[in-house]
Each structure stands twice: as C-alpha cells, then as structure tokens.
Structure 1
Amino acid sequence: MAAEKKPKVLNVEPLNYKDAKWATLVKTTYTDPEGVQRDWESAERLTRPKGSDIDGVGVVAILQDPAKPQDPPRILLQKQWRPPVNATVIEVPAGLIDPKESPEVCAVRELKEETGYVGEVVNDGFGVSPVMFNDPGFCNTNLRMIHVTVDLSLPENQNPKPELEDNEFIETFSVSFKDLWDECRKLEQEGYAIDARVGTLAEGVECAKRWKLW
C-alpha cells in the first residue's frame, strides 16, 4: 500500500437507515412461482442518478504499445483496501456514474482519475457490456463493464498521474492478460482479496485457454 500506516477496522456497528448515505436495507414482499407470499431482505444503493439504468462502471483497460506489437497485452489493475472485507482488494478501475453521464464517458473519466491513464473505448461493438448485477441475491447494485485500450506511445500516457480523492488510496499496476488467472492465485496467496470482476475475467481467459476457444 502507498499509505505509510496499514488501514484497519476500528469498529463495526448497526447503521440506522436514516443515517445511511450510500446504501440502505429493504424488505421486499413477493409471490413465488407457486403463488406463495414470501419476504426478501436486500440492500439498495442510494446513489443511482435519476434516469440511469446503472450505478456505475468497471473498466477493462488494456495497455498496448504500438512500438512493441509482439508483446502480450497487459491489463490495468488496482490495489485498494476495502473496509467491508478488511483487506486490500485487487480490482479493475471503477466508479459511480454521474447524472446524465454515458457509461463510456464515465469509464474514461474514472480511468483518468484513478490511474492517470487516458484511454479510448473500443468502438467495434464490444466496448460496452450488457448491464451486470454484482450480487442480485443481496443487492440491486449493477454496472456495465467498459472495454478500453490505452496507447502507451501517447505523450499523455508517458507519466500518468492519478487524481485521487482524499479518501482514495489506490496503487495501480498491470499484469499480462493471458496470465491473469495465475496472477490472481498468486495474489490471493499473498493475502489480497480478489474482486469478482477481476476473478471472472481471469476465469474466462483461463477457460478459453483450456478449452481452446481461440
């Protein structure tokens, strides 16, 4: 971690819904396929902009150097300590969407703010994913994954400087995309937690390799 002192959880206590700024708990009453009435407890975000179908975006940023076309692509990752899991988590750049902001604009903005890199959204129909729900059995939080390329030959990407908020402590690094599964296993053994988006990307790459899908 970039911070001099290791973060730590000091206290965990119940939160009154009236004091919640980011999320709240709700009880949903519904009928199941057999007509039986049931209740379901879940969480809801309080930050989704009006008119938006998503809470935020995750960014799959691939680093490419035109001067080295034979080098394997690298994916940009982050280390960020997260209080809910009391661990430093391996993540992709991500963030909440602003009012009237498109997913593409949000992704490029968050990438620049969190990593300093300037990226370009893939424009061949693969740039924006379908809406994905992070944990639909627990909360309604959702996002779109935005696929971005970062041209390392551009002047603005020679010495990237993030623009972090005062409560953000993020370390940016990259790994070979084709080795992401092995890197995740290694990082877990070192004590890091793996964000599901990173783990799913890694598993997808590994499945494609093992079942020779390309």
Structure 2
Amino acid sequence: MSAKDAKVLKTEPLKEEQAKWTKLILTTYTDPLGKERTWEHAERRTRPQGSDIDGVGIVAILEKPTGPEIVLQKQYRPPLDKIVIEVPAGLVDAGESAEQAAVRELKEETGPPVDCIVFLIDFLCCFWGEIDPGFCNTNLKMIHVTIDMDDSRNQDLKPELEENEFIEVFTLPLKGLWEACGKWEKEGYVIDARVGTLAEGIEIARQWKL
C-alpha cells in the first residue's frame, strides 16, 4: 500500500450546507479609485475562535554528523489527484499556540518525542495565502525546529497517524533540496509551495553568496 494507490473516483458540486471545511464568500469592496467591485473567494470553517492563523508548517532539521537533513513527506492530495512533496504541517487546535501545534503535529506525523525537540526559532511569522491569496484566506506560521539525533529515542521513530492519513516520511540533505525538487517534478510529483520556496531561498543564497 502506498500513496500511489489512491485516486479520484469522481468530482461534483458541493452544496453550502454539506461543506464541513470551506465556504464560498462574495466580498464587496472599493478599489483605490473608489469604484465598488466584488470578489469571489473561499474561507476555512476550521480556524479556532480567537486565533489569527489556521495552521502551521514545520521546517524540521535533523542534526547529523554528515550535515543537516530536512524532514519531508509524501502525501496524496485529492484536489490535485497527485502525490505532493510537503513539509510536516497541520491545523491549529483551539487554545493552541503555533509552537504547541507544531510540536503536536510533528510528533503525530513523524514520531519524535516532544522533549527531544529544541526550538531554533520560536516562530517565524510567515503568513501564506496557501496556494493563491486571491482565492483563499488560509494562512499559517512556519515553525523551525531541530531534532537531536544523539537522543536514542529518535532512532526508531513511529508516527501516530489518524485513520485517514497516509503519509510517507523521509529525510533529505538540506543542501540537495533544490536539485531534488527538479527531479521530483520530472517524476510527476507536485512540490508544495513551502518546500519549493525554501529550496529556492537556499539556491538564491548559494548563488549570491548571502
């Protein structure tokens, strides 16, 4: 069994009263010249009350003698009907901070014990218009963590996936991320924007010696 075994069987319109996760919005606004216009977009129904974010993305780095490696995952995404290369991520629960959500999601999806995670950056306020800010208001914060591979509890990690989650976790040397993205794209994978942007940033820093 693998993500390649999943496939879309059909697509059909979704009625407003049946939608659990999203809703369509018609916004009326005035442009810079004062002209009234309308805009169609989508919103999540899941953002916790009092929270300013929907979820978190996690840049998890393994400290190894051979150099830093990034934790990535492959996951089938029905809207694209393709397997996507992603960073660990998830929605924020009610009452959770971004950091708490990141620790929980990382433990659930990859298995590291919570007390083995050391925060490099408490949180990097990086709001994303998840695929298209002109279409959806979804946002998140990127959390940067490092995992201590000298701790024996991190040697045999076991994820705690939910019943509907089929996630393949793997690691990759951070310095090879840009080249790997090109290879994955040729193989038919979709590169999540967070992974692609991180790879591009590393490559730009390398080329411009920043």
Note whether the superposition's TM-score is higher than 0.5: yes
SS at match of 1:80: strand
**Alignment-derived partner of residue 80 in structure 2:** 85
Question: What is the identity, as a one-letter code, of the residue corresponding to 1:194?
Answer: I
Deviation at 1:152, TM superposition (A): 1.1
Q: 1:153 deviation in Å? A: 1.5
Amino acid of the residue matched to residue 29 of structure 1? Answer: T
Paired with 2:28 and 2:118, the residues of 1 have a C-alpha distance of 41
Q: Which residue of 1 aligns with 2:28?
A: 29
Residue type of the alignment partner of 2:82 = A
CA distance in 1, matches of 2:53, 2:118: 18
Alpha-carbon shift at residue 131 of structure 1 (Å): 4.1
- C-alpha displacement of 1:196: 0.3
- Out of 87, 92, 96, the position equivalent to 2:91 is 96
Q: Which amino acid aligns with 1:2?
A: S
Distance in 1 between the 2:108 and 2:93 partners?
14
Match of 1:140 in 2: 137
Report the 3-state secondary structure (helix = DSSP H, G, I; strand = E; otherwise coil) of the residue aligned with 1:54: coil
Aligned length: 206
Q: Following TM superposition, by how much is the alpha carbon of 1:122 offset from its aligned partner in structure 2, in angstroms?
A: 2.4
Kindly provide the amino acid, as one letter, of the partner of residue 103 in structure 2. Answer: V
Q: CA–CA distance in 2 between the matches of 1:185 and 1:90?
A: 12
Any conservation in 1 of the 2:70–2:172 contact (CA below 8 Å)? yes
**Partner residue, 1:7:** 6
Deviation at 1:120, TM superposition (A): 2.3
Residue 157 of structure 2: aligned partner: 160
Query: What code does the residue aligned with 2:8 have?
Result: V
> Using the alignment, how far apart are the partners of 2:119 and 2:163 within structure 1?
31
In structure 2, the residue matched to 1:127 is 122
- 1:178 — aligned with what? 175
Which amino acid in the other structure matches residue 47 of structure 1? T
SS at match of 2:177: helix
Q: Which residue of 2 aligns with 1:46?
A: 45
Aligned counterpart for 1:115 among listed residues 110, 114, 124: 110
Per-residue CA distance 1:8-65 (angstroms, 9 max, x = gap): 1001111111111001111100000000000000000000000001000000000013
- TM-score under structure 1 length normalisation: 0.93
Could you tell me how far 1:127 is from its partner in structure 2?
A: 3.0
Q: Secondary structure at the match of 1:85?
A: coil
The answer on whether the counterparts of 1:54 and 1:131 sit within 8 Å (CA) in structure 2 is no
Query: How many Å separate the matches in 1 of 2:142 and 2:29?
Result: 30
Flag the 1:131–1:209 CA change in 2: closer, same or farther, 3 A.
Answer: closer
Q: For structure 2, list consecutive stretches of 5 or more residues without a partner in the other structure.
A: none
Shift of 1:121: 4.5
The alpha carbon displacement at 1:129 in A equals 1.2
What secondary structure, in the 3-state scheme, does the structure 2 residue paired with 1:206 have? helix
Q: Does 1:150 align with 2:147?
A: yes
- Alpha-carbon separation, structure 1, partners of 2:48 and 2:174: 33
Instruction: List gaps (5 residues or longer) in structure 1.
Output: none
